[in-house]
């Protein structure tokens, strides 16, 4: 039986759609503190009841998936798999200015980006963003970087220290030297006063008033640091999927994938963890029920592209016209050669 370890959302996120399925048990309010290997090769996961520390729930599983946000790295380290030794983590937070006055929020329905200041990293690009917090439409501006040694918003100040090991301490220090621009940016952000943050907002909304805006802490993220054999410590700014050699333990580290990339990431994870099963007719049929385009290239099948576009637009209630395919010939090479595109790191908070 596979087991998954996920964060408990304090805003009453419920996995009711999973709990309703046969053979699925969902336990909330538990903190995993032990992941050990049994003699038969399976794994034993022990979790403590956060409301009553004397209660322990133990589960034996053939497969363990860790998708616990900032807690994923420490949990992966608990498993003791060799692959975990390659990684360290550096916590970083985000803070926004928030305006929830209805007369102001009602005037905006967009995500508006500006340009990063000269010499600043791409992640420093601020933006105005329409969001809904606790059912109320608001306007966000930011992000402004924050820092804490916690790996979770409500974690421990000792999280960073506990996750630092003899195998990852040097790579973590190397990143500090290699990514000096990011270190400098973080230091400048931490030094900003509220007045300076409001001044940044007024580049976008000159009429913004101090009384209409408040600071809101968005949360924590653990940026992954990987020990590269040639480069040493490398800051990984995206999502990192880690799988043990035998496929019995897997984890999702780093930036939480958005809706557009989550399916591709999880499909690739299934191919690595359940390699044999994914090749069977039964699994192939089920996967294609969920993702009809699985294993197919949409740029080689215009009709499938049109079908998938229409289905997605209907499901997500998107009023977006499909792309024009008139005169399109599948698998044709571009008529012009694109110029050299410089790759730059991006770490959207």
pLDDT tens digits, one per residue of 151-193: 988 889 999 999 999 999 999 999 988 888 888 888 989 999 9
Mean residue pLDDT of the chain comes to 84
Question: What integer pLDDT is reported at residue 174 of this predicted model?
Answer: 93
**How many angstroms separate the CA atoms of 216 and 95, rounded?**
6
- Measured between alpha carbons, how far is 225 from 172 in angstroms, rounded to an integer? 6
CB 212 within 8 A of CB 202: no
97 and 63 within one domain: no
The larger pLDDT score, comparing residue 117 to residue 200, is at 200
Q: Tell me how far CA of residue 89 lies from CA of 50, 149, 223, 230, 242, in angstroms.
A: 25, 10, 6, 19, 14
Find the mean pLDDT for residues 59-77.
92
What pLDDT is attached to residue 211? 95
Pick the more confident residue, 176 or 285.
285
pLDDT at 251 over 80: yes
* 122 and 171, same domain (yes or no): yes
Q: How many CB atoms lie within 10 A of CB 72?
A: 26
Residue 138: pLDDT over 50: yes
Q: What is the pLDDT of residues 6-63, one digit of tens each?
A: 665 544 445 666 667 767 888 888 899 999 999 999 999 999 998 887 888 999 999 9
Query: What's the total number of domains in the chain?
Result: 3
> Cβ distance 299 to 308 under 8 Å?
no
Residues written for the chain: 349
Instruction: Provide the phi-psi class of 83: left if phi over 0, else alpha when psi is between -120 and 50, else beta.
Output: alpha
Q: Are residues 178 and 293 in the same domain?
A: no
Q: Does any domain span residue 194?
A: yes
Same domain, 80 and 92: no
Determine what percent of the chain is predicted with pLDDT higher than 90. Answer: 44
Residue 311 vs residues 10, 258, 320, 326: alpha-carbon distances, Å: 33, 20, 12, 20
Residues 149 and 166 occupy one common structural domain:
yes
Per-residue confidence (pLDDT) for residue 345, from 0 to 100: 46
247 and 220 housed in the same domain: no
CATH (domain of 26): 3.50.50.60
| Same domain flag for 172 and 299 | no
Do 135 and 56 share a structural domain?
no
Q: What is the structure's pLDDT at 1?
A: 54
Under 8 Å CB-to-CB from 116, ≥6 apart: which residues? Answer: 122, 124, 125
Mean pLDDT computed over 91-118: 85
Domain contains 43 = yes
Domain annotation covers residue 250: yes
Same domain, 181 and 292: no
- Rounded to an integer, the average pLDDT of 83-109 is 91
The more confidently predicted of residues 315 and 321 is: 315
Helix (H, G, I), strand (E, B) or coil at 48: strand
Q: Taking a C-beta distance cutoff of 8 angstroms, is the pair 34, 46 a contact?
A: yes
Of the ranges 11-15, 205-209, 283-287, 320-324, which one carries the lowest mean pLDDT score?
Answer: 11-15
Instruction: Answer whether residue 68 is part of any domain.
Output: yes
Same domain, 22 and 141: no
- CA dist 263 and 287 (Å) reads 11
Whether 69 is covered by a domain: the verdict is yes
Same domain, 246 and 296: no
pLDDT of residue 61: 92
Lowest-confidence pick of 51-65, 139-153, 183-197, 318-332: 318-332
Higher-confidence residue of 197 and 109: namely 197
What's the pLDDT at 84? Answer: 95
Q: Would you say residue 292 lies in a domain?
A: yes
pLDDT at 176: 86
> pLDDT band at 337, cuts 50/70/90?
low
Q: Does 310 or 326 have the greater pLDDT score?
A: 310
Does residue 325 lie within any of the structural domains?
no
In a domain, 53, yes or no: yes
Write out the residue range of the structural domain in which residue 252 sits: 2-85+238-257
Residues 293 and 252 in one domain: no
307-to-121, 288, 321, 322 alpha-carbon distances in Å: 40, 14, 13, 10
Residue with tokens 């009553």: 52
158: Cβ contacts below 8 Å, ≥ 6 apart:
149
pLDDT of residue 11: 41
């Amino acid at each position: 039986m596979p087991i998954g370890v996920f964060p408990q959302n304090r805003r009453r996120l419920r996995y009711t759609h999973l709990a309703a399925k046969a053979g699925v048990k969902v336990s909330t309010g538990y903190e995993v503190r032990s992941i050990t290997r049994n003699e038969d090769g399976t794994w034993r996961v022990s979790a403590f009841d956060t409301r009553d520390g004397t209660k322990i729930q133990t589960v034996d599983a053939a497969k363990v998936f860790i998708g616990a946000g900032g807690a994923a790295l420490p949990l992966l380290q608990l498993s003791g798999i060799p692959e975990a030794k390659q990684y360290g983590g550096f916590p970083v937070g985000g803070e926004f200015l928030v305006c929830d006055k209805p007369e102001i929020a009602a005037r905006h329905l967009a995500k508006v980006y500006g340009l990063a200041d000269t010499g600043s990293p791409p992640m420093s690009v601020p933006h105005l963003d329409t969001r809904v917090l606790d059912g109320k439409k608001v306007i966000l501006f930011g992000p402004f970087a924050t820092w804490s040694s916690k790996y979770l918003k409500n974690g421990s100040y000792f999280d960073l220290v506990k996750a630092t090991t003899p195998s990852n301490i040097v790579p973590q220090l190397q990143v500090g030297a290699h990514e000096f621009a990011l270190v400098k940016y973080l230091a400048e952000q931490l030094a900003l006063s509220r007045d300076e943050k409001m001044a940044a907002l007024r580049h976008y909304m000159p009429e913004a008033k101090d009384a209409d805006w408040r600071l809101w802490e968005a949360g924590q993220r653990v940026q992954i640091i990987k020990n590269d054999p040639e480069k040493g410590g490398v800051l990984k700014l995206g999502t990192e999927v880690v799988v043990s050699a035998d496929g019995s333990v897997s984890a999702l580290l780093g930036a939480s994938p958005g809706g557009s990339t989550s399916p591709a990431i999880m499909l690739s994870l299934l191919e690595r963890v359940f390699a044999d099963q994914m090749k069977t007719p039964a699994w192939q049929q089920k996967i294609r029920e969920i993702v009809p385009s699985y294993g197919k290239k949409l740029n080689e099948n215009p009709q499938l592209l049109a079908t998938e576009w229409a289905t997605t637009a209907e499901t997500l209630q998107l009023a977006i016209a499909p792309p024009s395919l008139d005169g399109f010939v599948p698998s044709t090479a571009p008529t012009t050669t694109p110029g050299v595109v410089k790759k730059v790191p991006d770490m959207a908070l």
